[in-house]
Amino acid sequence: MSQQREIKINVPVLARVEGEGALDLAIRDGCIEELKLRIYEPPRLFEKFLEGHGHQDLLDMVARICGICPVAYQMTAVHGLEELFGVDPGPWVRDMRRVMYCGEWIQSHSLHIHLLAAPDFFGYNSAMELAREYPAVVRRGLMLQTLGNDLIAMFGARSVHPVGLRVGGFFKAPDPEAVEAMCQRLEEAVTVAADLVHWCVGLKIPENNQQFTSVALRHPDEYAIYDGRIGSSVGLDIPVEEFGQHFQEFQVPQSTAFHTHLNGRPYLVGPLARLNLSKWQLPEPVLENLELTGVHFPSSNMFRSVIARAVEIHFAIYEALRLLSEYRVPESPAVEFEPKAGTVYCASEAPRGMLWHSYGIDDEGKVRWAQIVPPTSQNQGRIEEDLGQSLLHCGLEQEDDVLRLHAEQVIRNYDPCISCATHFLKLDVTRR
Amino acid sequence: MCHSLSQAGCNTALSPIRIIGVGSPIGCDAVGWQALDALQELGLSDSFPEGVVSMEKLDRPGAGLLDHMRGADLVFIIDALVAASDSSAMVVLHAEDLLQETAPLSAHSLGVSETLALGEALGDLPPKLQLLGIPVDATAEIKSDLWVKSETVTEIWDHICQQIALFNPQYRKVGAEEN
């Protein structure tokens, strides 16, 4: 194929990602002239909707940002409000929130691995095709997803937009009988999840190593989910309130979602970033299972994100079981509090990566202003950077369909939630 | 009936006939739940031998819908249907009408039809399945919290009883058609 060809590829709708976006790729003389991940979903204006609403409304409203990770939005907000109000709900609430959050990691990661990513590795166009040939694989994914959803619902009354969280704790503590039944399911699922890690390692994962900065919350005592300091693979270690001093949100013409840079450069958040930074904090059985696979982290291969998700499913099931194994019903599932005016800075680890919130709160506990930085916004710059390198690695002389498929697979590694970020993929390739 | 707010502990009875209301508590999406509540209050499941018909409401179940249909012989799913017309008449859709294999699948858009397509690929669909769609106009002015009309409930009742009788006449009880 002549290097003089001018090529333009347009992927008008990217499948198996969340939300609506497109990819424009222009190639001139064998070089990428233009590469833009276009996110064209209309802005959802959630931050403005929140203004004037009270703290409980805030928890119910931020959950509506996402049907897959509502718990992440709620947990981030509730933790931040409690910090501001000076409320310490105690260890029971903290542990049970971590369990509920584990449920969200389990369901979100399971869906991604089995329904969104796995067809790529088997050469299928859809989860339906995979389901016909490998029904046991898809059933495993659905089983794990249901487990995660039920874990969320045990605390939140329902898995989509749960309603169980409140400032100070929970509205209701789960019944011991429900917890006991859940523990039995988690015990059975631990083995399934350990096997899932080996299954993912067995997938035909491309070798494509790139240099990037991993960013995630870090906690001195545990694999961070619920809280921590912001850390990076290049030595960043800051409290969440200093986010704005190091990270820059900015607008680009091709996206209705903000991009975010760390000191002027793209960076990665998500399961691979977390594993790269905090693998050593995984529980011993989870770590041992990973070591048995012979795959090492930190990794600079984004395609290993699928393995990272499987490891985190194993971890989340193990962790939920550990925390629930000595479950007791507390005297009260919540503590009382008085609202206070001030500014809230808070972050937690959503399934797709670090989620950062900031709110101005008045003395009645109402929202004066809000700023929410979801993981997909943070990953957009990294996705574009990765695409540029991955498509070169793939070979720009490849047929458009090959480039399109490869680009989609690269993007799916990030499990982007475009709907959260505003909010997939159309590829437009121009060869000149 | 298993209410959505207790779905974590829901153990769908192994009844051969299941009526599932799909939706959420607020707005026009609640119409499937409201129809199910009305059918329950009118005693639909009691019109058949004990253990034959179970009813439950599910809050946006996604792929979890398959779990709630597993082992059933006949399933009715009652759900809101976005309609362009003013008609509130029930629309009956069969499994083959709903299988949208070509639709892009994403975790966020795993609706009823995508879930049924996945269930069909897995061989997990019940032998007979119907979606009873209740037309709603999501853009209409909200005048009350009640989205389902009594005549629509009657229409659904008659249809379900008729279908059950056709499916297995042994399941039909005297008086069922009188309600």
Domains and CATH numbers, chain B: 2-178 (3.40.50.1450)
- In which band, very low, low, confident or very high, does the pLDDT at A144 lie, cut at 50, 70 and 90? very high
Distance of residue B151 Cα from the nearest chain A Cα, in angstroms: 31
Greater model confidence, B101 or B20: B20
Contacts of A176 (CB under 8 A, 6+ apart): A327, A328, A329
Structure tokens at A35: 């590469």
Provide CATH code, domain A46-421.
Answer: 1.10.645.10
Q: Is the pTM of this model over 0.80?
A: yes
In this predicted model, what pLDDT tens digit does every residue of A321-341 receive, in sequence order? 999 999 999 999 999 999 999
In this predicted model, what pLDDT tens digit does every residue of A47-59 receive, in sequence order? 888 999 999 999 9
Distance of residue A363 Cα from the nearest chain B Cα, in angstroms: 30
CA-angle at A245, arms to A244 and A247, nearest 5°: 60
What's the rounded mean pLDDT across residues A384-408? 90
Helix axis angle for A135-156 and A90-111, nearest 10°, is 150
Q: Is A150's CB within 8 Å of B8's CB? A: yes
- What pLDDT is attached to residue A112? 92
Q: Is B59's CB within 8 Å of A129's CB? A: no
For testing contact with chain A, the best of B66, B108, B114 (most A CBs within 10 A): B108
Identify the burial level of B146 via C-beta atoms within 10 angstroms of its C-beta, where 0-12 means exposed, 13-18 middle and 19 or more buried.
Answer: exposed
Q: Is B8's CB within 8 Å of A153's CB? A: yes
Q: Is A159's CB within 8 Å of B7's CB? A: yes
What's the rounded mean pLDDT across residues A217-230? 97
Q: Is A138's CB within 8 Å of B122's CB? A: yes
Residues 13-42 of B with CB under 8 A from A: 24
CATH code 1.10.645.10 region(s) in chain A: 46-421
Distance CA B152, CA A140 (A): 39
Comparing A174-178, A200-204, B3-7, B137-141, the range with the smallest average pLDDT is: B3-7
What's the rounded mean pLDDT across residues A20-28? 83
Helix axis angle for A70-85 and A55-63, nearest 10°, is 160
- Is B108 part of the contact surface with chain A (CB cutoff 8 Å)? yes
- What pLDDT is attached to residue B130? 94
Q: Please, which residues bridge with residue A360 across strands?
A: A343, A369
Smallest Cβ distance to B101: which of A68, A128, A159?
A128
Q: What was the ipTM of the complex prediction?
A: 0.80
pLDDT at B102 over 70: no
- In which band, very low, low, confident or very high, does the pLDDT at A60 lie, cut at 50, 70 and 90? very high
Smallest Cβ distance to B105: which of A13, A126, A159?
A126
What's the rounded mean pLDDT across residues A146-162? 93
Q: Is A160's CB within 8 Å of B59's CB? A: yes
- What pLDDT is attached to residue A424? 38
Identify the burial level of B175 via C-beta atoms within 10 angstroms of its C-beta, where 0-12 means exposed, 13-18 middle and 19 or more buried.
Answer: exposed
Residues 58-77 of B with CB under 8 A from A: 59-60, 62-64, 66-67
Q: Is A15's CB within 8 Å of B105's CB? A: yes
The verdict on whether omega for the bond into residue A42 sits within 30 degrees of 0, i.e. cis, is: no
- Which chain A residues are within 8 Å of B24, Cβ to Cβ? 160-161
Nearest C-alpha neighbor of A203 from the set A131, A121, A313, A133: A121
